[in-house]
Amino acid sequence: MTDTDARSAGRGFDSAEHQARLAELYRDFEAAGMTPLWLTREGLMPAHPEPRAVPHVWSWADLLPLAARSADLVPVGRGGERRAISLGNPGLTGDPYTTPTLWAAIQYLAPREDAPEHRHSQSAFRFVLEGEGVWTVVDGDPVAMRRGDLLLTPGWAFHGHQNVSDAPMAWLDGLDIPLVAQTDQGFFEFGPDQVRTRATPERSNSERLWGGPGLTPVALAGPRPASPLMAYRWAHTDAALAAQLDLEDEGAAGVMEPGHAAVRYTNPTSGGDALTTMRTEFHRLRAGAGTRPARTSASSVWQVFDGRGSVTLNSLQRDLERGDVIAVPAWTECAFQTGSGLDLFTFSDAPVFEKLHLLRTEVTG
């Protein structure tokens, strides 16, 4: 019996007459579209986040063949726009969302296939687990996609993809579709049916302009919401992670915790996250290392880029193989372990809640 119940009893609130009047009141509330907080408070305002989304791991070995089968059966084209298949969180029944704010999908282009140009207010990126041969054309700038690269499509930038090779290519797409959909912020526009350039340069214009460390073109200086650098190349990411671990060996600062290196992809015009609504990072665990259990009110998605290990998500423990995709809902205790070393790409909605002063994080282990 809650205090409310107790006081009710004291005031004769448990009489049959009272119950009848109360039932009538609740019917009238319902008719008026009104809902009493005292019946919903616990669900609406829990002591800590109690996500409907659940921790989940998808196996790349399952995802890739399904995506490949769809290439035989479903063309890419105007209307459908993309051969992308989202990973729906089992807890979020009815919605194709990986977490309440994030949408992760496997996208697949058959040899010589194109995806037409469009743009949308949703922010997007591609992370490449394997393969090459596709160029994504972002606002007219062709950007090569290769293993280990992160490629950005900031909100409202036109973009299409083309596979110029004779092999299919698949990658991980990340977008803020659920956040934008649930808050009604989505705008979408079709572009040309064909990508506007067939050029396949090694380096995009954005890399030529913004790819020098700490160098800003004077003509383009000034803060921008999202990064003007469209590609973060694996060679740089790999070198930065290796350097952090080397520095740890040399006794210098750099790693997040023992054996755990990490880089964040950032917007060189502001130093903040590369995209406005999503944080993107790459983490490397040295052989034998693990992360200290922690939880955050951000939700995240992880993909195993290389190595093997395991993840513990609250009470769920799962072994991890290359390509596996992991959904980590808000306030889920999360820890990674590895015997032989583990490379992980991840994205989260942390920037949203940092900007709103809602983000909380705590180390639990």
Name which position in 166, 202, 221, 249 contacts a copy of itself (CB under 8 A): 221
Name which position in 55, 60, 100, 169 contacts a copy of itself (CB under 8 A): 100
The stretch among 114-122, 159-167, 285-293, 315-323 that binds a copy of itself (CB under 8 A) is 114-122
- Using CB under 8 A as the criterion, what x/- string covers residues 257-296 for binding a copy of itself? -----xxxxxxxxxx--x-xx---x-x-------------
The stretch among 129-137, 157-165, 179-187, 307-315 that binds a copy of itself (CB under 8 A) is 179-187
Contact 178, 110 (CB under 8 A): no
With CB under 8 A, what is the number of residues at the site for a copy of itself? 147
Q: How far is the CB of 301 from a copy of itself (least distance, A)?
A: 14
In single-letter form, the type of residue at position 214 comes to: G
Name which position in 64, 121, 146, 197 contacts a copy of itself (CB under 8 A): 121
Beta carbons within 10 angstroms of residue 154's beta carbon: 24
Tokens representing 330 are 């808000």
Name which position in 127, 210, 302, 305 contacts a copy of itself (CB under 8 A): 210
In single-letter form, the type of residue at position 279 comes to: R
Beta carbons within 10 angstroms of residue 89's beta carbon: 26
Name which position in 157, 247, 294, 335 contacts a copy of itself (CB under 8 A): 247
Q: Which of 143, 155, 362, 341 is nearest to 245 (CA)?
A: 341
- Asked if residue 362 binds a copy of itself (CB under 8 A), the reply is no
DSSP 106-162: EEEE-TT-EEEEEEESS-EEEE-SS-EEEEEEETTEEEEEETT-EEEE-TT--EEEE
Contact 297, 359 (CB under 8 A): yes
Q: How far is the CB of 323 from a copy of itself (least distance, A)?
A: 14
Query: Which of residues 122 and 163 has its CB atom nearest to a copy of itself in the complex?
Result: 122
Q: 245 Cβ partners below 8 Å, 6+ apart?
A: 255, 259, 261, 284, 286
Q: Which helix (H) or strand (E) holds 252?
A: none
Site for a copy of itself in 54-93 (CB under 8 A): 56, 58, 62-63, 66, 69-70, 72-90
CA distance 4 to 117: 58
The stretch among 19-27, 162-170, 309-317, 334-342 that binds a copy of itself (CB under 8 A) is 19-27
Name which position in 16, 166, 219, 249 contacts a copy of itself (CB under 8 A): 219
